[in-house]
Amino acid sequence: MKTTHLFAASLILAGAMLNVSCDKQEATTPAAAPAAKNSEKAAAVLPNYRYVDGDTLLAKYHLAKDYQDEMIRMQTSMESQANKHRTELEGKASKMQNKLQNNGYLSEASYNADQKELAALEERARKSMANLQSNFENSAMQGQKAVNDSIEAFIKEYAKKRGYDAIFFKGSTLYINPALDITNEVVEGLNAQYNKVKK
């Protein structure tokens, strides 16, 4: 909350300083053509920072979408494998139950052997699912890091070229002037860069 208050206070202070600066200029310079005056005023009022909408960025950035598609594929594969293990275990347990009810076990040793086989199937299924879950989590972390690193590197370079002092995520602000939104420009730049690498 302190950061939000400081940010809001700095916005108010910056706005006040800009208004004073504009008032002084208007008082000391002769009247200009209305169109030129308005465009200059608009440029002066806009502070030297911009923002991007993080949700839109992730929804439209091709690298993020590709990783998201990969995560969905992995999730589907995990669910399919879990169903396969479940069917196998349920089938084995059902056979044992039927055999038990129909006096199919001729000895305790025979029953214990089936119990041991069922336990082995359960352990194999548990290990298999644990490995799949671990791979899924590692892939998700790597994907998130790759997307974040790519966005951060691009925005740093983009801000440097444009001479911006800061680029914020919209979600970290209570209110910010929509005129400062550069989300679409950043998405276009990121996708153009990603498409070159992919080719």
Q: Are 41 and 22 in contact (CB under 8 A)?
A: yes
Contact 50, 167 (CB under 8 A): yes
Q: Closest Cα to residue 51, out of 174, 162, 178, 158?
A: 178
Say how far apart CA 33 and CA 41 lie, in whole Å: 12
pLDDT of residue 199: 62
| pLDDT per residue as tens digits for the range 172-196 | 899 999 999 999 999 999 999 998 8
Q: 181 in helix, strand or coil? A: strand
* Residue range 55-71, pLDDT digits in tens: 999 999 999 999 999 99
The amino acid occupying position 176 is I
User: How far is the C-alpha of 124 from the C-alpha of 74, rounded, in Å?
Assistant: 20
Residue 105 confidence class, pLDDT cut points 50, 70, 90:
confident
Does 3 have pLDDT greater than 90? no
Confidence of residue 106 (pLDDT cuts 50, 70, 90): confident
Q: How far apart are CA 138 and CA 179, in angstroms?
A: 39
Q: Burial level of 27, CB count in 10 A (0-12/13-18/19+)?
A: exposed
pLDDT, residue 198, reads 73
Model confidence, pTM: 0.68
pLDDT of residue 12: 35
pLDDT score at 1: 41
As a whole number of angstroms, the distance between CA 110 and CA 26 comes to 100
Give me the sign of the Cα torsion angle 94, 96, 101, 103.
positive
| pLDDT value of residue 42 | 52
pLDDT at 189: 96
User: Taking a C-beta distance cutoff of 8 angstroms, is the pair 88, 121 a contact?
Assistant: yes
